[in-house]
Amino acid sequence: MSTVPITKRGAELLKEELHRLKTKDRPAVINAISEARAQGDLSENAEYDAAKERQSFIEGRIAELEGKLGAAQIIDPELLDAEGRIVFASTVHLEDLESGQKVTYQIVGEDEADLKELKVSITSPIARALIGKYAGDVVEVQAPSGIREYEVLDVRYV
């Protein structure tokens, strides 16, 4: 199985979710199933069916998270020494050369990507275009609206 890059913070969030699922959600659904069983006939028991469906979802998510964490290559951006080069987990400050708008993104794994938090997936067009570049470089990105040019203003590892 190949490794999947993930930031230290992303791995912590997955571990927190896994812990919650195992210690709170799983016992709660087991309790709900036992209460529904106590009501008698299971063939027409909507509470039982809903609890079993919820249990199936929780067990599937636990297996998914354990698989992701097992295949994770955890990268701590603060320990990177890429000599100013944009790499996975870098935080990059950019300026759109057409509009002059400035934006900051962190390049993260697919499971961590969240545009609201300005985190872009390593597989996104902008991240792929940025990897390997330095501050001062101009990057062309194929966006849905066409080719966009960005100047890399700063690269940080935080």
The predicted model scores a pTM of 0.81
DSSP element (H, E) containing 29: helix 26-38
List, by residue range, all CATH 1.10.287.180 domains of the chain.
4-75
List, by residue range, all CATH 3.10.50.30 domains of the chain.
77-156
Q: Which residues pair with 121 in a beta bridge?
A: 108
> Does the structural domain 77-156 have CATH classification 3.10.50.30?
yes
- Cα–Cα dist 150/98, whole Å: 8
Over pLDDT 70: what percentage of the chain?
Answer: 99
Whether the per-residue pLDDT at 81 is higher than 80: the answer is no
Residue type for position 87: V
153 pLDDT band, cuts 50/70/90, is: very high
Phi/psi-derived region of residue 49, left when phi > 0, alpha when psi is between -120 and 50, beta in every other case = alpha
Whether the per-residue pLDDT at 1 is higher than 70: the answer is no
Pick the CATH number of 4-75 from 3.30.70.1060, 1.10.287.180, 1.10.10.10, 1.10.10.60: 1.10.287.180
